[in-house]
């Protein structure tokens, strides 16, 4: 089981001083007009996904790429723009200075993530692919509710934190991730001594290094 001290956890996920490594409009991403959803390719990293991590989907050159379940050639900026283009609304209100607050929670439209790979036979929803491991001395399961936090407006408009981190999707509420999970946050992770709740299910997930098609759209 992955165990990190709280200070190390905070350092790993809030590396948000910005450069332009993920700040351009790169990547291969398709708009599926019939379903108003996005489709992109990503590489799966089983060791990270089984151990547990903050980072679900990260640009391959982002600072957090080595800590991600999936990496992609799609930059956060392009991902953000495409989500807006298909009519999904962002809130852009997750503040890096307040990300450790007890009530920190991503806002914005609720999203559906699903995954398909050779041999999967069908699309697999995010909450089918990942299990939630709840420490015995803490609260019950919280689930996954991915929202379009955005984090590309206001004070972040010129240099959004995701341009350095590379984060398209995070499993905890995040000021860097373009999308992130409303149900869990940094305060929870610290309280649970850095033990990440969300782990890929060994019997469900694709093999290590598999190329996976990721679908993202507004929850209906």
Predicted confidence (pLDDT) per residue in 108-142, tens digit:
999 999 999 999 999 999 999 999 999 877 668 89
In a domain, 22, yes or no: no
More confident residue, 141 or 60: 60
Domain that holds residue 115: 27-218
Number of domains in the chain: 1
> Is it the case that residue 21 has pLDDT exceeding 90?
no
101 compared with 136, residue with greater pLDDT: 101
Q: Identify whether 6 is part of a domain.
A: no
Phi, psi (degrees; rounded to nearest 5) at 124: -115, 120
* Residue 4 domain-assigned (yes or no): no
Rounded Cα distance, 1 and 57, in Å: 21
Q: Is residue 65 part of a domain?
A: yes
Q: Is the pLDDT of residue 47 over 60?
A: yes
Residue 1: inside a domain: no
In a domain, 58, yes or no: yes
Residue 11 lies in a domain: no
pTM of the predicted protein model: 0.89
Q: What is the pLDDT of residues 167-213, one digit of tens each?
A: 999 999 999 999 999 999 999 999 999 999 999 998 998 999 999 99
3 domain-assigned:
no
């Amino acid at each position: 089981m992955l165990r990190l001290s709280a200070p190390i956890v905070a350092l790993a996920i809030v590396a948000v001083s910005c450069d332009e490594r993920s700040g351009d409009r790169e990547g291969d991403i398709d708009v599926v007009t019939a379903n108003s959803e996005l489709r992109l390719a990503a590489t799966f990293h089983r060791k990270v996904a089984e151990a547990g991590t903050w980072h679900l989907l990260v640009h391959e050159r982002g600072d957090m790429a080595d800590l991600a379940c999936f990496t992609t050639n799609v930059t956060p900026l392009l991902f953000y723009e495409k989500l807006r283009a298909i009519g999904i609304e962002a809130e852009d209100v997750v503040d890096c200075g307040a990300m450790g607050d007890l009530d920190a929670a991503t806002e914005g439209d609720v999203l559906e993530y699903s995954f398909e790979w050779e041999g999967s036979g069908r699309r697999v929803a995010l909450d089918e692919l990942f299990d939630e491991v709840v420490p015995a001395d803490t609260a019950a399961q919280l689930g996954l509710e991915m929202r379009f936090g955005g984090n590309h407006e206001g004070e972040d408009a010129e240099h959004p934190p995701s341009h350095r981190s590379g984060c398209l999707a995070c499993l905890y509420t995040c000021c860097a991730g373009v999308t992130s999970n409303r149900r869990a946050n940094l305060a929870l992770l610290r309280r649970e001594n850095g033990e990440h709740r969300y782990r890929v299910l060994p019997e469900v997930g694709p093999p290590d290094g598999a190329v996976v098609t990721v679908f993202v759209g507004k929850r209906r």
